[in-house]
Structure 1
Amino acid sequence: MSHPAIGRLQGRLRRRWIAQFALSTLPLLIALFALVSRIATAQVAIAFAGIAAVILVVFASRHLRAITPGMIVRRLDAGTVTLEDSADLLLRTPDDLDGLAHLQRERVAARLDLAALPELRDPWPWRRILIGVLLAIATAVIPLPTKNPPATQPPATVATGADANKIEQTTLVSARLDIKAPGYTGLPERVEAVLDTQLAEGSVARWQLRLDPPPGAVSLRFLDGSLLALKEDAGTWQGERRIDASMLYRLEVEGAAPLADDRLHRLDVIVDLAPEIRVNAPDKTLSVLDSDQKSWSLDFEVSDDYGVVDAQLAMTLAQGSGEQVTVSERSLRLQADAGGDPRQRRYRRRLDLAELGFVAGDDLIVRLLVHDNRRPAANLSRSPSYILRWPADNAVASEGVDGIVQKVLPAYFRSQRQIIIDTEALIAERPLPAAEKFLARSDSIGVDQKILRLRYGQFLGEEFESGDRGKPPAKQDKGEHDEHASQQDALTSEHDHEVAGGGAPVFGSATDVLSEYGHTHDHAEAATLLDPETRKILKAALAEMWQAELHLRQADPTAALPYENRALLLIKQVQQSTRIYLARVGLELPPVDESRRLSGERKDLRDPRGPLRAASLEHAPIGEVYQ
């Protein structure tokens, strides 16, 4: 508990500040209230006075809260020397102090009780008070114009002759704009009392205008330069026009004074958008026929602004292989589910594959074509192409068809069949050749298998092997040795990073830096040529090749033959998965947003030049030194 003298000083400071604040601000508040009441209505003046009073009360309360016992103690220490800068001890109770602190508090309290309380209050701001009183008196004495003219003011004289043409202006008394939307939209006719509005594409707008004084002629001048002359009927100027695109226009009068409001007016056209297609089934663009599948289910949902009237299923059947591929096209009109909103349609169809002639090796491609009810030309939307493929026949190699089917794997993938033929021939001759010659031929086939496996590994991001190049046995004839050496050279010449170039690395050369510090194809994720499912099959084929190579290097072609056959089957699956249908469609640009035309809005626009900028020559010496 603080000393009672601290509380008395705090009360004196607060009372003095309230008196000073009232004498300084009340005259100004009265002057402002008188000024506002003479300019605005009484309600506005009262509201102004209430808001000003609330602001002053909030300000005063915040200032009074700032007058705290701590503030009193600081002023006592600054203005009273006898307290020895120990006035803060008066804020604490004697029980909280001990020793010298307790004794010092008693001394400070005794001195404060014996002496008169010091004057800690601020002096009176007489200058500010005087200025506020003078402003209040001046506002009350000086006359100001009232908000309404006197009732005794004589009426203004009407100008005639040449003065009338200079002073008068033609005024738009009333405006009516009738909007009649196209019949296919189903929108009702509406009436607007303004000249700026939004309307559907192809709507007919009819203007009915009344002007004062009546002009000799009225027309609408559009921004494209066209002119619509209005006709007068009983003082009303009328005219109509079909609106197919957003436009700006203004009124023009002849034989009368200029218009008081000659600004541009805007008509925003709501474009009829093409239908939107959502495919529920199938859930992926490429589907493989199941073994027991007899039909193919399709499910589409279509939405449009005003209604969908027609939906057709375009089907393309690709049959045959190699250069004997035949393509047949047909269309099937679909019926929507009964009931519902014509703007939301759902089409479901189950295709009988046997009826369509879908047999082994065929591809069936379907697309949905949808027309809305726009007139005179309907909007057309096309869905993506969805393919149903017959499972790949492992016994038949697929061939590419120009324009329809593309092959993305090179031709040397088929050499696995030659490896099988060589292995079967070696097994058939096993009783005849000598053991060393038999080992050399088996090892040679193993080298072929390794070369093929490494070439496959390129498409999975694998790295070529380095080190020992698999030297053949010492005892073999010269022809076989040359053949084996050429195979080893082919194996290592394509991807030997360490000896490429045969010289020391060149500083700044991108090729030497890449070969020394890393590769861009040593991760499987970097091989983007194949999809994940095809990559999985290719990895399985590499595993089979590893086992086949192992047994061939151990001179056991009989054990290697099953692995070679399984690798061939997996290779055929990879080749079948590379058949890709390319739809032959023209260029379809997105529709232009008509609502932003002629508006000057540049939001979301990009610089057509892109981020490229002119090259600066200030760093040219650095580049020359680097080279």
Structure 2
Amino acid sequence: MSKTEGQIWIHRLRKKWITLYLLRLLAVSLAMALVISALLVHVLHLAAWYFVIVLAIILIILLVAKPIWKSSDSDFSRFINHQYPELEESADLLLQHPEGLSMLQKLQLAKIEKVIHTINPEKEPLRKLYIGLAILLAGLLISFGITKIPQIHKAHQVASANQNPVPIIKEKVPAEVSAFDVTIIPPAYTGKPERKQKQFTIKAETGARVIWQFDTNISLKTMKIIFNDKETIVLKPQNREATKWTFAKTIEKSGFYQLEIDGRRSDLYQMEVIPDLPVNIKIIQPKQRTTIDIGQPQKFNLKLNLSDDYGINDAFISATMASGKGEGVSFTEKKLSFNTSFNNQKHIALGKEIDLKSLGMKPGDELYFFIKAMDNHGQSSRSDVYFVSIVDTTELMSMAGMTNGVNLVPEYFRSERQIIIDTEKLLKEQSGLSAEAFKTRSNELGIDQKLLRLRYGQFLGEENETEIGGDHDDHDEHAEHAAEPEKFGDVTAIMDKYAHKHDIAEDATFFEPEMKAQLKAVLTEMWNAELRLRTYKPQEALPYEYKALRLLKDLQQKSRAYVAKTTVKTASLKPEKRLSGELDKIMQPVQKMLAERKEQRMVQLKASLALLESRKSGKKFTEGDRFLLSDTEKYMIGAAADNPTTYLNALTSLRRLSGNTRLQVSDIDIAQKAIQKMIKGETASPQIQSALPASALYQNYFNNLNKAGR
């Protein structure tokens, strides 16, 4: 080998490595750019030229991250020393002149010059290049899949529409119309795509843009669209031959329309609007009225579900805190957020823990809150108001109101208060008492709670503990019955001898069911307090004692009746107008006129119903009959404009009956069913009687007085 062969070998090898590395880098960059650009174009709907920018950015980042093209031959010699062990860390000798080498270096140079012919240095970079090409292939497949996402989404929407298809109504297309298209463009906030149909019947979202396009087989003079028999739109031809017509309209409410071609009207076509409903709010937790008793954490968890037909934009909690009493009450309003992003989701479950202490609430305060939510169209809705209150121990332990109103066993009420005082006293003195003394006092409090519970149980008809399970030998009524002589044939006396009759416990009270249920709740809380006092846990018994006291005090308040004093301000009477009998200034109320119109409408509908029934035999309508049907048609037009699904076919049938000489029984049946629905839809409202039965006699009397005075 000449002295420059080693240098040429390393120089060529470095160029091959750099070239293969750049090719691999380009393949990886293309794969990443294809995937990112596909997302930008087909998901975010950006322009396709963004691919060039993305590719350039990725290439620059990768080239800067590992600048292999800046490496020199000496750098590459160190690299191949680590890459190929057979070179024995001596590749740098190939770059040096033999004259400057020592004897050992010349021997090593001669050794590695023989080895380099057996090395295949291109194997490793080629393997990495194949990996880069595999990544490029995967990027192509992924980007191709992303391009199909809109088509898949559209196919899914079509499949959903096919699962709930709009019922196909058999329509009669005017003979002059050779082809037509109806394009429905929903509002952007709905997220629904534009759709076309070959059907005049329209079912569209509120605020949708509807475009009609007609092709006629002949040149027309005029073409009109009539909406709800009220609004008439004259169309302009789109070509000189007057065979292409188009019209666009934003639909806000349901109704019907028809075409008028050169004076001839088509059938009626239905327009149904899908309303955009506000957000539905369902609060799962807490209950509408929540009371936080003593010993419970002053916080609660709020859980709710929101749902909307197109998307939820925002929701928050509007909270109002009430503090103080009487004239010193103050209110503080706060807006609490859920700290979540809604992203126009249609369904979302929300939760939040509300700490009442952090809101500045203290015992005796109340919190009123409701949820307010907005959809992506700006509509807002709110829930019912919920109440959360913290029990005030100071108010609960006070004796205020004990001497006023009707009391339910106030001495027992004071006894429960005394048990609470003794329990708190025991807890304060616990550190200075022995374990035996503490248990004894706790057990004695449990006995007091038991006696109080039994005394309250008597108000629910419960028997004393001494009578439960006894054999009732001390019942005098049985001894009296035993001493009486038997009456022959008296079945009741015979039954009384062997039967043991008592009043039913549930019926042996004079309380209402609601008060009885609250008394049972009081007994439950007393039992829980007694259980913990008997097991030497007075700290755990205290919340149950306070809750029993609160329930008793609420029960006491319910037993009172309060009627507020009210004043009524009336207009002062004019003395000169009294007893004059002048009635000429008194006018009839408007409500009577409206009632008369409704009554007239009802009479005409019933008359039309009877007329149609009489014409089922085939008898033709007279001119008077057609006049009655025309009035009925006016009423049905209004009903069809409000509810085209129910009344549009009936309106078409009624018009055929009015115009044709040959009657169809099917048209009569359809019209009759619709008229019956219109009659049933008129809800009867109570009316004030305008006059007494003998009002005519009174009217004549006052008229005669008026004449005599003149």
- Normalised by the shorter chain, which TM-score bucket? 0.3 to 0.5
Structure having the larger proportion of residues in helix: 2
TM-score by length of 2: 0.37
The TM-score normalised by the length of structure 1 is: 0.41
